[in-house]
A and B are shown apart, each in its own frame.
Chain A
Amino acid sequence: MLTDNAPSATVRAAVIDTGSRRRPSVRWGDRLAGLAMAAPAVVVFVAMFIVPMILAFVLSLTDWNGYSLRFDFIGLENYRFAFRNPRTIDAAVFTAVIAVVGTILCNALGLALAALVSAPGRANTVLRTIFFYPYIISALIIGFLWSALLAPHGAVNGVLAGLGAGPVPFLTDPAFAKATVILTIVWAHFGFNMILYIAGIKSVPTEFYEAATVDGASRWQQFRSITVPMIAPVVTVNLVLTLVGLLKVYDVVLALTDGGPAASTQTIVYQILKDSFAQSRLGLGAAQSVVLLVITAAIGLAVTFARRGAERKVTD
């Protein structure tokens, strides 16, 4: 049985000890200096995030078309339209599928590969580089690359034809195209998850593994009972970042399928940009952006709270 009561108790005692002391008084001068140093960041945050958010919300209540500098306030009509427009609903559903399936695959793959290649060694270094490489390539390039490979007359179908197999409609059949988009995104993203997991795995004290080995635990038991619980905060970060990132997917879709065939691979951000600029309905685009922002924030918070229990086991 694996136990780590001793270190945890020490940490707990230290926390209690710190908490029982009086906080040292901070001089006014130091406080002012702190505020002055924080001010630029706060100003930038407010100017670049809070103000645009408020303006986006205001725009979402208008019928602004991007041409005219005049507009009418139309209340919640843009929101009502977004929720009854079949195209927006389809895009939202596909985005949800990408987010859920992509998050599961990226994290499963990232964690599995991290466990395999986290140990030192030249081969592992090369493998880590290879796995991480797609993440640093521009999403547009990835989209165009796979588009060229998977097109009806692309390289993959060319090879299949050479082997006597029929062409696979990777990009021309809606179901295939959806799967292609998701797998391409996973291919481009899992390297990032892997790197975070490797960092997490390397932070686990080696004493735990040594003790487990002495106790006769197998590699799988060590991975399941030590590694996974100990990297719980990293799992949370990975889940939140991947989920939130995939809710905003756009560029890969643009380059790979351009939302087709039959609009089957349009994501919500693709739809927002199309409505805003191609259709000159910036008010509608802003409304959809606000909804996406709220959903993204809610999901991020929900995952963070849901993972609290697992993280507490590590930090307590």
Chain B
Amino acid sequence: MIDKRKLVAVGALAAVGLGLAGCATGGGDEGDGKQTVSLLVNVTPNLTEEWWNDLVKPFEDANPDIDVTIQNPGAEGVAAAVPRLLAAGEAPDVVESLPPSTELAPELVDLSQYDWATEAPLAEQYTIDGKYYMAGIGLQVQSLWFYNKDAFAAAGITETPTTVEELGADLAKLKEAGWTGIQTGGDWMSSYALQTVGLPTVIADNPDWYQKMSAGELTFSKTYGDSVKEYADWIAKGYVNDDALGIKYTDAEQNFLDGKAALYPMGSWFVASEAAATDPANIGVFRAPAFEGTDQPAMGANIASPYVIMKESKHQDAAAKLVEYLVTDKDAILNQLKVDGNYRAGYDYEMGDLGTELLDIVTNTPDDAYTPTGQGYGERTLPTGYSTEINAQTQALLGGTSADDVDKAMDDWFTANVG
């Protein structure tokens, strides 16, 4: 291993055009003996800087020797800002929404010694070499089908499907009743439906699918092929909106909220959109089923608001105190869960009917059923670029490419990228 900090720092800046300007500098010591802990966060319409400052204020009040500075990475987001800040020697103390990866792990503090990290949601799934590098506050559940209850009733469907085969049969009834079956779109969301169809079975049948695919021990066509074929069949039969590739995420979501489609595969954050919508359709949610014969369908889920501490931090103890507060203080957790529509068993907050339905799903899903989606996380990670490739190939599927050709393209991609 070569440590050439200055060369890389200069190289990074000069060769790829990264600027030094941007975020504020990392934490430091103030003259009055106070320690300043910097917290780099994603600022969004929900998670405003003001909201973040309010969130950490009780911690600052309880710890007068620690001052928390909220850092806003701006449009580039946390994931892009961290490498730049690292290269510039201005790493923040704590980073939010940056799940650990094998690439990032060497830059993070090992939190294995803290119970609040090892007992946090999905903590085990995110370990790398048995070490806990992050602590989160809840779950973003992803293998979900939101459905229009009126559409189901109009098609004579009285119960939500429990297998992919039943879902296919329901889609046929919906089409017969004049409904667009599945609402999907272009952008990043094209592959969402395919993954919602496939992952519950693929992971249930191959619990180590991520590791084995990364090691070249399994192939995409042999594990995911049935799901690709099923989804291609649905596309061919007209169960998916035919303008999918020209629809952006926000438009797709609005179409479903407006009652223009019967099913919408999306993550738990959609509940917040439904709650904020004016006069939305009558919407329910069910857990994505697996193919017949699968005992426990896998449930795609990501950690909500994962916090990591950078190894570069000069205030690691103070940073650990801050993260402990953020992931254990009940009010702080509920505040964070509620603002972004996330969930955690045992943490109820005021929510609508759809939120309650979703919380039931979370409560009834055993911990070992959870699986990463897309690229994966922790040790369950696929080769870099998988998410964009599966999305591109799903778009090809929507454009009329055959399931066999998509399987072959994915196999070729894995061959090129594995090892």
Known: A69-B3, A70-B106, A86-B416. A279 touches B385 (CB 8 A): yes
| Alpha-carbon gap, A172 to B12, bound state (A) | 36
Instruction: Judge if A171 is at the interface, Cβ distance under 8 Å.
Output: yes
- B residues less than 8 Å from A68 (CB atoms): 86, 103, 106-107
Q: Which residue of chain A lies nearest to B417 when distances are taken between CB atoms in the complex? A: A85
Residues of A within 8 A of B172 (CB): none
Verify if B8 is at the interface (C-beta below 8 Å from A).
yes
Do B87 and A261 touch across chains, with their CB atoms under 8 A apart? no
Q: How far is the CB of B6 from chain A (nearest CB, A)?
A: 9
Q: Evaluate contact between B103 and A65: CB separation under 8 angstroms.
A: yes
- How far, in angstroms, from A279 to B417 measured CA to CA in the complex? 13
Distance (whole angstroms) from the CB of B381 to the closest CB of chain A: 12
Q: Which of B7-44 contact A (CB under 8 A)?
A: 7-12, 14-16
A174 to B5, CA, bound (A): 44
Query: Among B107, B186, B247, B389, which residue has the most Cβ atoms of chain A within 10 A?
Result: B186
A58 to B87, CA, bound (A): 16
CA distance A82 to B58 in the complex (A): 51
Does B395 touch A at the CB level, under 8 Å? yes
- Total B residues in contact with A, Cβ cutoff 8 Å: 45
Is the Cβ of B417 less than 8 Å from the Cβ of A152? Answer: no
Q: Name the contact of B16 in the complex, choosing from A70, A153, A285 (C-beta under 8 A).
A: A285
Q: Are B2 and A71 in contact (CB under 8 A)?
A: yes
Please report the C-alpha to C-alpha distance between residue A71 and residue B104 in the assembled complex, in whole angstroms.
12
Expressed in whole angstroms, the Cα–Cα distance for A20 and B82 within the complex equals: 65
The reply to whether the CB of A286 lies closer than 8 angstroms to some CB of chain B is yes
Write the chain A residue with the least CB distance to B84: A66
Enumerate B266-318 residues with CB–CB distance to A below 8 Å: none
Indicate if the CB atoms of A64 and B8 lie closer than 8 Å. Answer: yes
Which residues of chain A come closer than 8 Å to B15, judged between CB atoms? 52, 55-56, 59, 286
- Distance (Å) between the CB of A122 and the closest chain B CB? 42
* Contacting pair B392 A263 (CB below 8 A): yes
Query: Which one of A59, A64, A87, A173 lies within 8 Å of B385 (CB-CB)?
Result: A87
Report the minimum CB–CB distance from A252 to chain B (whole Å): 18
Which of A187-195, A228-236, A270-278 is the contact stretch? A270-278
Q: Is A76 an interface residue (CB 8 A)?
A: no
> Which residues, 52 to 91 on B, are CB-close (under 8 Å) to A?
80, 82-83, 86-87
Closest A residue to B11 by CB, please name it: A55
- Bound together, the chains give a CA A275 to CA B86 distance in angstroms of 19
Bound complex: CA A8 to CA B389 (Å): 60
Please report the C-alpha to C-alpha distance between residue A245 and residue B285 in the assembled complex, in whole angstroms: 50
Distance between Cα atoms of A28 and B367 in the complex (Å): 82
- Which A residues are CB-close (under 8 A) to B369? none
Are A279 and B86 within 8 A (Cβ)? no
A25→B247 CA distance, assembly (Å): 72
Contact B395 A260 (CB under 8 A): yes
Whether A67 sits at the interface, judged by CB under 8 Å, is yes
A264 to B106, CA, bound (A): 36
Q: Contact size class for A? A: 35 or more
Q: Which residues of A contact B2 (CB under 8 A)?
A: 70-73
Chain A 260-307 interface residues, beta-carbon cutoff 8 Å to B:
260-263, 274-282, 285-286
Name B9's contact: one of A52, A58, A69, A281 (CB within 8 Å): A69
Determine if B16 and A276 form an interchain contact, defined as CB atoms under 8 angstroms apart: yes
* Min C-beta distance of B89 to chain A, whole Å: 9
Q: How far is the CA of A86 from the CA of B412 in the complex (A)?
A: 8
Return the contact of A173 from the options B4, B12, B399 (Cβ within 8 A). Answer: B399
Q: Evaluate whether A152 and B243 lie within 8 angstroms (CB atoms) in the complex, with A55-B10, A261-B186, A280-B103 already known.
A: yes
A262 contacts B385, C-beta separation under 8 Å: no
Chain A residues closer than 8 Å to B247, beta-carbon distance: 152
Chain A residues within 8 Å of B12, by CB: 64, 66, 282
Nearest CB of A to B395, in Å? 4
Closest B residue to A177 by CB, please name it.
B245
In contact, A260 and B413 (Cβ under 8 angstroms): no
Give min CB distance, A22 to chain B, whole Å: 45
A84 at the B interface (CB under 8 A): yes
The residues of A that contact B1 with a CB separation of less than 8 Å are: 70, 72
Which residues on the B side are within 8 Å of A45 (C-beta)? Answer: none
Identify which of B8, B385, B398, B417 contacts A69 (C-beta below 8 A): B8
* B219 in contact (CB, < 8 A): no
- A258 near B187 with CB under 8 A, answer yes
Which residues of chain A are within 8 angstroms of B393 by Cβ–Cβ distance?
A: 262
A81 within 8 A of B: yes
A171 with B246: in contact, given A262-B395, A279-B385 (CB under 8 Å)?
A: yes
Interface status of B396 (Cβ within 8 A of chain A):
yes
Q: For the complex, give the distance between the alpha carbons of A282 and B12 in Å.
A: 9
A182 contacts partner chain B, Cβ-Cβ < 8 Å: no
Contact of A279 among B9, B87, B384 (CB under 8 A): B384
A138-181 vs B, CB cutoff 8 Å, 1 = contact: the mask equals 00000000000001110000000000000101011110000000
A sample of 9 more A-B contacts (CB under 8 A), given A153-B243, A172-B399, A174-B399, is: A51-B14, A55-B7, A59-B16, A68-B86, A86-B412, A167-B243, A169-B245, A279-B384, A282-B12
**Nearest 7 pairs between A and B by C-beta?**
A152-B246, A263-B392, A66-B83, A262-B396, A172-B245, A262-B395, A55-B11
**A residues near B, CB below 8 A?**
51-52, 55-56, 58-59, 64-73, 81, 84-87, 151-153, 167, 169, 171-174, 258, 260-263, 274-282, 285-286
Q: List 29 A-B contacts (CB under 8 A).
A: A55-B7, A55-B10, A55-B15, A56-B15, A58-B7, A59-B11, A59-B15, A64-B12, A66-B87, A67-B82, A68-B106, A68-B107, A69-B4, A69-B8, A69-B9, A71-B2, A71-B8, A84-B416, A86-B412, A86-B413, A152-B243, A152-B245, A152-B247, A172-B186, A174-B396, A260-B186, A261-B396, A262-B396, A280-B83
